[in-house]
Chains A and B, each alone.
Chain A
Amino acid sequence: EAGVTQFPSHSVIEKGQTVTLRCDPISGHDNLYWYRRVMGKEIKFLLHFVKESKQDESGMPNNRFLAERTGGTYSTLKVQPAELEDSGVYFCASSQATGTGAKKLFFGSGTQLSVL
């Protein structure tokens, strides 16, 4: 079974440019999450999809970040325009939709974003 895949693994862009990160969750996982780790800090929650619907986007830093999950399969996270403080590792995770309670999350390897 394929795991969570993220693309690209690394991205180096200049301040003001646009970057789009992609996440393919494990097949059949309705829940998809985006997290971010900024250097030296903890992994922080950005948002949560259930199928194609945004369930919780309380962690999104500002309106320069736009996440989509059309059709409830893969998801994209676009940063436009990118700022220096957006640098970090962006993780995507997915989990099964098995009722309530804490979910076991399966993570991708992350996208290392460097904004220069």
Chain B
Amino acid sequence: SQKIEQNSEALNIQEGKTATLTCNYTNYSPAYLQWYRQDPGRGPVFLLLIRENEKEKRKERLKVTFDTTLKQSLFHITASQPADSATYLCALSSGGSYIPTFGRGTSLIVHP
């Protein structure tokens, strides 16, 4: 069956460091991969979208890579700040319905 795996353990890092979150998937051929941020009590907020034929995408301090051979996406936040603390969700869309299927998310905690 299709699986999207994100590290269930929280990632703790110091302010100013680069945070790297991982999204692995199996039995899936996504055409698109998205990353969302979710704060407690709120809905997910879209951050970045990357297509299967793109290797990397950047937006300000954010960078996403997409390796369809490894079946993995890495999400980087450079110069992290305490305000970056949140849960980050990856979501995959196939070429059929394009409706995103979400992973469970990884909690990021940035310490001042």
A56 on the interface (CB 8 Å rule)? Answer: yes
B4→A42 contact, CB < 8 A: yes
Among B14-22, B60-68, B74-82, B98-106, the stretch that binds chain A is B98-106
Residues of A within 8 A of B46 (CB): 104-106
A107→B99 contact, CB < 8 A: no
Residues of A within 8 A of B99 (CB): 33, 45, 48, 56, 103
Contacts A42-B105, A43-B102, A102-B31; A108 near B97 (Cβ below 8 A) = no
B43→A108 contact, CB < 8 A: yes
A107→B104 contact, CB < 8 A: no
The chain A residue with its CB closest to the CB of B46 is A104
- Complex alpha-carbon distance, A108 and B38, angstroms: 11
B98→A43 contact, CB < 8 A: no
B49 on the interface (CB 8 Å rule)? Answer: yes
Q: Mark A40-51, 1 if CB is under 8 A from B, else 0.
A: 011111001000
Contacts A42-B105, A102-B31, A102-B32; A4 near B43 (Cβ below 8 A) = yes
Chain B interfacial residues counted at CB < 8 A: 23
The chain A residue with its CB closest to the CB of B34 is A102
The chain A residue with its CB closest to the CB of B93 is A102
Contacts A102-B100, A107-B44; A43 near B32 (Cβ below 8 A) = no
Residues of B within 8 A of A108 (CB): 43
B49→A102 contact, CB < 8 A: yes
- Complex alpha-carbon distance, A41 and B99, angstroms: 18
Quick one: which of A35, A93, A106, A109 contacts B41, CB cutoff 8 A? Answer: A109
Within B71-112, the residues touching A (CB, 8 Å) are 89, 93, 97-105
- Interface residue ranges, B against A (CB under 8 Å): 4, 31-32, 34, 36, 41-46, 49, 89, 93, 97-105
- Going nearest first, the 9 A-B pairs with the smallest beta carbon separation are A107-B43, A102-B32, A102-B93, A43-B102, A42-B104, A102-B98, A104-B46, A107-B44, A42-B102
- Interface residue ranges, A against B (CB under 8 Å): 4, 33, 35, 41-45, 48, 55-56, 91, 93, 100-110
